[in-house]
Chain A
Amino acid sequence: SALTQPASVSGSPGQSIILSCTGTDSDVGAYNFVSWYQQHPGKAPKLMLYDVRFRPSGVSHRFSGSKSGNTASLTVSGLQADDEADYFCSSYTNSSLVVFGGGTRLTVL
């Protein structure tokens, strides 16, 4: 089943926020193959982090990732207006498949 993400999170410009992504021993807890995607309305998803904590070229250092047990986290530091978007986590599973979270709507106040 889908990974669990809070439906919405908000923060003010300059603040830091943490988005959580909770799975099970069969996915998030079993592998360090958690990735995060940012999606602006009407646009394609964009890879922000892979393998829990690694940033692709071009992604701001304000985005960082971690994992503890069955929960992965995405931290966005120094919130900016353009960070307002939907964020989805995903994980490899022990069935050799992929499961996504339901997504978190990040609002910059």
Chain B
Amino acid sequence: EVLLVESGGHLVQPGGSLRLSCAASGFMFGNYWMTWVRQAPGKGLEWVANIHQRGNERYYSESVRGRFTVSRDNAKNSLFLQMNSLRAEDTGVYYCSRGSQRFSDYWGQGTLVSVSS
């Protein structure tokens, strides 16, 4: 069974940093693109970033480019999102998903990030 479990979300002040993790199991992690998608409270989905199987290609939305960094550790079946210079508008649930720009076929349950003073 494919399982994605996010962690690391919590309350942080504006301008602060946070590192999210996603632990993957049930599939060959190193064979798949992986993606981060977020959802502000009561709002729609927003694609954030994704990363190639080997980590040599990464793409970011305009709203996070230069502040967020996506990375992965295939040996540990883990995906990460380093978030710096956080803003109030970064608040939301962050989902880890398996897939490329075409689609994401499995999603985690999400981790909540709150940016507030």
CB pair B103–A88 under 8 Å, yes or no, is no
Task: Given A44-B95, A44-B110, check contact A37 B101 (CB 8 Å).
Answer: no
Q: Quick one: closest B residue to A100, CB to CB?
A: B45
CB pair B105–A88 under 8 Å, yes or no, is no
Selected from B46, B102, B108, B109, the residue in CB contact (under 8 A) with A50 is B102
Residues of A within 8 A of B26 (CB): none
Interface size of A as a range? 20 to 34
Q: Quick one: closest B residue to A99, CB to CB?
A: B47
Selected from A39, A92, A101, the residue in CB contact (under 8 A) with B101 is A92
Task: Given A37-B45, A100-B44, A103-B44, check contact A45 B103 (CB 8 Å).
Answer: no
Residues of B within 8 A of A99 (CB): 47
In the complex, what distance in Å separates the CA atom of A35 from the CA atom of B47? 13
Nearest CB of A to B94, in Å: 11
CB pair B107–A88 under 8 Å, yes or no, is no
CB pair A33–B103 under 8 Å, yes or no, is yes
Q: Quick one: closest B residue to A37, CB to CB?
A: B45
Q: Quick one: closest B residue to A47, CB to CB?
A: B105
CB pair A50–B105 under 8 Å, yes or no, is yes
The chain B residues found within 8 Å of chain A, CB to CB, are 35, 37, 44-47, 50, 59, 61, 95, 97, 101-110
